Amino acid sequence: MSDTGTYSLMVHGGAGALDNVKDDKTAFRYLDSIRRTLEHGRDVLLLGGSALQAVEACASLLEDDPVFNAGCGSVLNENGKVEMDAAIMDGRNLSAGAVAAVDNIANPVQLARLVMTESEHVMLIAEGAMRFADHCGMARVPEDYFYTPDRVEQLHQARLKHRMMLDHDDTEEDSEDQKYGTIGAIALDPAGNLAAATSTGGIVNKRMGRVGDSPIVGAGVYADNETCAVSATGFGEDFMRTVISKTVADFMLMQGMDANQATKAGIDYLKRKVNGRGGVIVIDAAGNCASDFTTKKMIHGWIEKSGEVTCRF
Ligand code: ASP
């Protein structure tokens, strides 16, 4: 661990064509949420919070914003139900916690954190995860907490087309113009500790029981003080098959790359091996921030080495 004395923070709110962002008002709505989340995470770090606390706080805020496909804004599966996945990882010692196919929980990332700190396991799923939530005293929220009119209409459209859709996919089948609205947060604190968190509702009209990359350590999330913190968003099956987050970390570990080089190498690998769709955000141990994506856009923002807040698509 190196004491950098500065902090870095990055968050994302999904990748895709973002064709639904057709006007300044909608663009502002997304970017304002990203900005406010970064400002909140900055406050956590400036008040002495760890990278782990910062990513949990940022991910929770994004889960509470219905424009993103996580927490209250989660998409619906083939049965019209919410099934959410989330994970959190601590780069200090590779501790990790994850939950998959959970419902009735406002902040799955917080349940993932409890799996990490209060159980001897890394991942709990479905009913077992919910029982663990009860055991930890985590409040359950009613089903209508999740059912925004947009999500119900989105599932209706997917069913009409007899297909599985990705978040905010309002385009032709097989089009690249899709949005993957998962959220993620990664941080380096001034003590040199890295952490990462990712949370999602998955894919519209997905099969019951489908689990994506987001809760899989090394696929949708990864943090190791020796290399970097990574959070991914995009077509989960592509990321699972390429173990994309660990692949980026391995480019650093084995080839001495920095954040920019490793991120580019990782996305090149994703394209070359599976023509994968999506992107990653990355912070290396020196606090360098990097991002890359194969989709047209990715909603994301960062504070690099205690600098200014920057947000973009
Ligand atoms: N990666 C997520 C999944 O496949 C989707 C997303 O990023 O929006 O479940």
pLDDT digits (tens, 9 = 90+) for 282-305: 999 999 999 999 998 899 999 999
The larger pLDDT score, comparing residue 258 to residue 20, is at 258
Residues in the chain: 313
Q: Please tell me the distance from the alpha carbon of residue 81 to that of residue 281, in angstroms, as a whole number.
A: 29
pTM of structure: 0.93
242 assigned to active site:
no
**SS3 assignment, position 29:** helix
Residue 171 scores a pLDDT above 60: no
Reported as a single tens digit per residue, the pLDDT across 197-211 is 999 999 888 999 999
Q: Please tell me the distance from the alpha carbon of residue 157 to that of residue 159, in angstroms, as a whole number.
A: 5
Ligand 1 atom at shortest distance from the alpha carbon of 206: 9
Ligand 1 atom at shortest distance from the alpha carbon of 182: 8
Q: What is the DSSP string of 34-69?
A: HHHHHHHHHHHHHTT--HHHHHHHHHHHHHT-TTSS
Task: Name the fold adopted by 8-312.
Answer: Glutamine Phosphoribosylpyrophosphate, subunit 1, domain 1 (3.60.20)
**SS3 assignment, position 117:** helix
Distance from residue 204's CA to the centre of ligand 1 (Å)? 10
Domain boundaries, the chain: 8-312
Nearest to 297 by CA among 9, 7, 15, 2: 15
Residue 174 scores a pLDDT above 90: no
Distance from residue 2's CA to the centre of ligand 1 (Å)? 32
Q: Please tell me the distance from the alpha carbon of residue 277 to that of residue 234, in angstroms, as a whole number.
A: 6
Q: What is the pLDDT of residue 165?
A: 55
Least confident of 9-23, 63-77, 193-207, 292-306: 9-23
